[in-house]
Structure 1
Amino acid sequence: MGNLFQKWSDTSLVLRIVMGIILGAVLAVAFPSATWLAMLGTLFVGALKAVAPILVFVLVINALTSHVSGQKTNMKGIVFLYLFATFIAGAVGVIAAKLFPVKLTFKEVEADLQPPENVWGVMETLLNNIVSNPVDALINANYIGILAWAIVLGLALKAASSTTKTVITNLSEAVSKVVHWVINLAPFGIIGIMYNTIVTSGFGELKHYGTLIIILVGSMLLIALVINPIIVFVVARRNPYPLVWASLRESGLTALFTRSSAANIPVNMELCEKLGLDKNTYAMSIPLGATINMAGAAVTISVLTMSAAYTLDVHVDIATAIILMVVTAISAAGASGVPGGSLLLIPLACGLIGIPNDLAVQVIGVGLIISVVQDSCETALNSSSDVVFTATAEYAAERKK
């Protein structure tokens, strides 16, 4: 048994996850009534979501308390890359929807949805999250609030004694070890997630929106495999694909099934450590990226909005399209601060081009139908890009030395 466990541990995590995907699909077909298998996925995602807020809080405090004065981080460059890439993603979505127009079939939305009324509503939510109660932020996984309080406490503890700093460091290492244990359970979690997806959702309804799904996924693949590599090459002046493939393989694959950027924070942290990146930087950039680096969300918002415009015969000129790209980027950056994520921000973009709110809300219904594919690919792009741009900024800084 010991040898079997050692062999399992020595096997690549990615290979183990692929085995989990295959096994989950086989079990769903062979034993559709064994619903207890879905619990494996629920427990795994729950464990990741539970440990992620503590991990971010402790790592950021540790990074700031142990930071040596004069030592540079790459946060400015990373934030710029996050925002620039999100804007470009919005542009890709608008262009793709223009080139391949799709007519939507509107359906009433049964869920109790409360889309924000305007962009200021999104920004107001983000600002309120910054000043939220720290305990409440940890309980509700409000990463903007967690990051803000961790920075404040980290700066305050810079003057603490070496003993206190050692305790913080030890706590950081302990939490990181727990995260490592949880991530190693990923293959079992994937079995449950894959099983539940096939048994409960199926893909029957998706046939009606095959073209729309292809446009969304195609746009996201274009960003992941072409746009992001170009950005990496221009900024870091190195072959981008080893970094891009590693990020998609180890971060994107997990995010594809967990469908949660927050749950994928521990995975990204571990990948950054494997890549040898500066812990002082990625301890802040990864949780921040889970909040504002939303290329996948920008694609979703822009494609669905443009499809709604085409369906309703609303003309969108070049100037309006550019404004739509900007609004999409701002809205996407605030997606995680709004219950329901990117889909609930579609009415903001629709309102910009004169689509009534009652029809705009029905676009959300279309998004909910295709969310099995759309949300999975969106999260995979968002989360893997966090690692790509964190590494890119560090590589660029090293090149300038």
Structure 2
Amino acid sequence: MKKFCILFLIGVMISSIANSQDADTVAYEANKINDFSILPLPAIAYNPANGWMFGVAAASSWFMGDPVSTHQSNLVFNFLYTTKKQWIISSKSNVFLADDQWNLIGDWRYFITSQPTYGLGSSTPNDLEFIQIGQENVLNGKQQMDFSLIRFYETILRRIGTSKFYLGLGYHLDIHQKIESFIDEPIDFDADFSHDFYNQTLGFPIDRYTLSGISINGIMENRDVAASPYERNYAMISYKINPEFLGSNKSSSTLLLDYRHYFNLSKTRKRHLIATWAYANFLVSGDLPYMNLPSLGWDMFGRSGRGYSQGRFRGENMVYTEMEYRFPLQKNKDLFGGTVFLNAASFNSKTTGEKLMNKINPGYGLGLRVLINKEKRTTITADYGFGQKGNSGFYLNINESF
């Protein structure tokens, strides 16, 4: 069945390219400075957390200034329904104003969704069991959760002189509501769900909570094209403060670190490269609600942790790294490409006493790339990843993973 799905998707992608590549080239020639246009199209995607996703997607790339001195801006919008009866509505943008003087980063979402959780830390099992914490029995392993999410993140950064560095402020709002934990089969002992036990222990509600805060951000933007880079590097540091007076249930602060480097292996074939990614998210002070804790696959574009489903690992602190070898599959053309990747993640848990780096969960896999617009580097990506303990997953997306 998996082989059939991959072959079917390759056929769909090739057919789409044959029908749309000329139109993409014409659209690019017409897409000059400040000429923003967006065309909604039927969409299909897949990942382990959501299953098959069908609906409407719209993407646009354009320049807000002279392309020589201004990075390409990008916007991706999705309105999707999944085979797991979820609604996924999102808008993600990375906009550079003329001469890169300002950078605006947006992440807006409305989800009516479900997702399994497995408890906290890197040692949680796939199958359901329980652990004793103090006088309580707490479920560990796969537990289902239904919830809705309202997210509004917007960051505004100002370029420092003529450098590659930006400084700015952001506002971040997450509202999780209509949360319900359950398991598919009854158990013959009393135990609390991981989510409920954690929240009740720290004084958070179990059915609805809010995290609202402001961030101080520094970014180095040195990639040639932000959506699908071929060379150079990118770095971000973000310190976020979530005070109660802005609506958070409890005050807290977090630190996010993100670094990416692209090593080009050929002067004539820029698509031949090694990409590296280091990502860390730390709880600095206070406490976070369960679903706001650092988690695998909950980065902005949901690309971390191929080989595992979104939310498979979660904890107060996380570190993550990935390396990917990207290469063209044709001698003189760039239509088809391939990739092999390796990643690793570690999480801690104050609840169980597990420390960061006590256990590392690796993932690995390979993928196909189809470059449907060479000028904009719009790329369809199809990956299959493998994790530990039988975890695996197929991922179909647009543009590179990082």
Q: Shorter-chain-normalised TM-score: which range?
A: under 0.3
In terms of fraction of residues, the more strand-rich structure is 2
What TM-score does the superposition give when structure 1 sets the normalisation length?
A: 0.24
What TM-score does the superposition give when structure 2 sets the normalisation length?
A: 0.24
Larger RCO (alpha carbons 8 Å, 6+ apart): 1
